[in-house]
Structure 1
Amino acid sequence: MVPVIALVGRPNVGKSTLFNRLTKTRDALVAEIAGLTRDRKYGEGKVGEYPFIVIDTGGISGQEEGIDEAMASQSFQAIKEADIVFFMVDVGAGITAGDRMIADYLRRSGKSAYLIANKIDGKNPDVVLAEFFELGMGEAIPIAAAHNRGITTLVDYVMEKLHPKVEPEEETGYLPDEAERAIEHEQLNIKGTKIAVVGRPNVGKSTLINRFLGEDRVVVYDEAGTTRDSIYIPYERHGQDYTLIDTAGIRRRKNITEAAEKFSIIKTLQAIQDCHVCILVLDARQGIVEQDLHMLSFVLNSGRALVIAINKWDGMDADDKQRVKDEIDRRFGFLTFAEMHFISALHGTGVGHLYDSVDQAYASAMAKWQTNMLTRILEDAVGSHQPPVVRGRRPKLRYAHQGGSNPPIIVVHGNLANDLPEDYRRYLANTFRRVLEIKGTPIRFEFRQGENPFADKTKEVKHSSRRRAEAVERTANVRKNKIEKARKQLKKTYQKPKG
């Protein structure tokens, strides 16, 4: 399960600063959607191999008069969505009525909460943290988010609680996250290609899901309660196993009303993390809006394979269709790897072709390649187009191997590999994509270069060379003096006496 961390506290205690530190971005506004998530910001972070989702909130003041109720309600909603709560306080301001109210709410909620004392820089922790024991939240963890102090210790501490290291001989029943997920999926009969149907509200996700399953089909498994709080629906088509991940919480068509279709950022993020292929559904009649771009950014950042379905294509006249196509070309022109389909989920037009793209994207995302094959492709690419000279030297790319799947990762080794310009990296990516016939999924490259064992000994080498040169010069001078002395002696010996 990808854990969700909510940052709560009074306004101006440093929640947004900590949010940016955890997501390693500047003003990391991943999604800000009017109404539903107006004052909640969602971002993704990672510690080692463990990802997590962060929610930033506007703040809770605790004042009965003048309180922004909408902002406070968003904070309380974030607490409900979260697995872990970071309750932030300002050590400079001390304990306020708002802090007491939030602490009381968290104790009653039963959530796993950590008290974070921010703005600790320049202060004695032993002195300023003592008063916060009064909140009954345990010992406060001191940080200075603005100066990035204590952040790593904080996150490592929390991740250790979530993912404890268990010795092999200990019989604890603990399973790593991947193994636990595999057992869960086996119990739920989840197998085959996992497809997440994502998109903003009312674009036709539920209609498309029911079109996939068939009007009268009995759903094999359609109950909530998995660790990811999404609906996993295994089914079979033409002998091929699939599992739909329904982020909208849809059951069967007869139980669906338009008002019941809810949008959840958390469900969507977790579904994207867990799927093999995302189908991003757009509304052709409304065109591309900001929410569509936010959803697309989630998918691209996760590296998942992508198929785009432009829904509600039926009934549009030729001019409107051309307008939509022009807008897609303008705003999605960079998505050269993703297949796009114009469909009508309601009438089934074009839906069958989605499977072809899903199967193709899945095959590319999960493909395995031998090192010798990837190295040959690299050698051919370099032979056709040499890397440009960098600081007077031309990079030498030695070999390539696969570093992972979903998305495919190609690792390239060589001298000055990290210094390759962006256009040459794109050239390599396009070459590998063309030769390997990778379609429907992004491809990521990692460039690694061998460490120079003398890189940190430059001064030592210079000093050593200088000493050797000085020694040679001294020896030469001694020799020169000896030769000169011998010459004078010979001249004196053979010089004829006068008279």
Structure 2
Amino acid sequence: MSFTVAIVGRPNVGKSTLFNRLVGKKLALVDDTPGVTRDRRPGDARLDDLRFTIIDTAGLEESGPETLQGRMRQQTEAAIDEADMTLFVVDAKYGLTPHDKMFAEILRRRGKPVVLVANKAEARGSDGGFYDAFTLGLGEPVAISAEHGQGLHDLRDAIVEAIGEDVAFPPEIDEPETDIDLEPTDLLEGEEDDEEPAYDDTKPLRVAIVGRPNAGKSTLINRYLGEERLLTGPEAGITRDSISVDWEWRGRTVRLFDTAGMRRKAKVQEKLEKLSVADTLRAIKFAETVVIVFDATIPFEKQDLHIVDFVLREGRAAVLAFNKWDMIEDRQALLADLREKTERLLPQARGIRAVTVSGQTGDGLDRLMQSVVDTDKVWNRRISTAKLNRWLDAQTMQHPPPAVSGRRLKLKYMTQVKARPPGFMISCTRPEAVPESYTRYLINNLRKDFDMPGVPIRVYYRASTNPFEGRKKKR
């Protein structure tokens, strides 16, 4: 992107609505409640022929630095310093407030280009608020309606005038063309069935951090990044949006998703919290590996188990992180207890990797990322058909399928049909009659014999086709 723009203003003036309009997606949570946005969220904006990075921010409020509102304001000021220019949004329907004038003075002292945006200009009686905006001394305001998409062309012209055409439209760099000659054999030859593809450790990795409220998810990500990128504090439920941040670990690009804490469904009553939980569920489905953060001082709450079960049912690779380990006194006793409970309470994820960490001190964070990469390798693993069929023969000889209704089941052929997570198809007689207990037996032995701990494994059955079915018997 050519330049970066921060959207700022007091709470509830429509900043997140404008952000969603510019990125073309409903990424930021929007509600009538003031102060919905708390962390700064970047996105790729498109406005006619303009392409730039847009940053949604929390509403500017005058408060002490030790309060939640004060920490939100620090995040907003960090976004202003990071951006090349600012969109200062005021509410044309409501009119100016003393806070608007104070924040206009703050932006003026920053010395960066500012475009004054009068939002909600479609409302009846908004003309008075629009003309009042001239008194801020930031130039002519741009009247828009972020909700209905009105006035965006004028906003585009104002941004270009403020930032300059040379910055708004940088010259394109022509990349040299490289001619790659492919022989016909290169296009036609496929991999041999017995070859298992190697794991690509250069591919970017998507990791979601989930857990109950106040488990230390945002603190964990801040420790990885080495800066106070995400809003943290002693209050539970600070994070509302799912925020993604890019980071590098040992030369590999990792996109971390910070998510809102997930309480029990019966306790989630407010609309805003329901939106936050829905955003968290979308982040889990988009991620590849999910780190479930447990509070080591009160581990294995019922909600923790529900979260792990949901992640596995979605087919994601899962890693457990027991956070706040620095607060534990008798660590050896608790460690033995955690191992026993992990095996007993999570039988559907036998062998799942678990790491003790501390977001405050940084202990164990490198081991946690190594566990994430190791689990992702298993999640992407493919096993050759030849190995699977030799394995299936051995399993059926050791423990034959049971007879159902007096008829013996026969497993004929096995192949892996997908990865991410690993899925296997078995051709057999009467697939609908295979007991669930025998499927669990096969999955547990797949984990053990092919070293696939902690990832969901799917086993499907299908009836083998009879080539003579439907033909009339010749006499």
TM-score bucket of the superposed structures, by smaller chain: 0.3 to 0.5
Higher relative CO (CA 8 A, sep ≥ 6), structure 1 or 2? 2
Using structure 1 for the length normalisation, give the TM-score: 0.45
TM-score, structure 2 length as denominator?
0.47
Larger relative helix fraction: 1
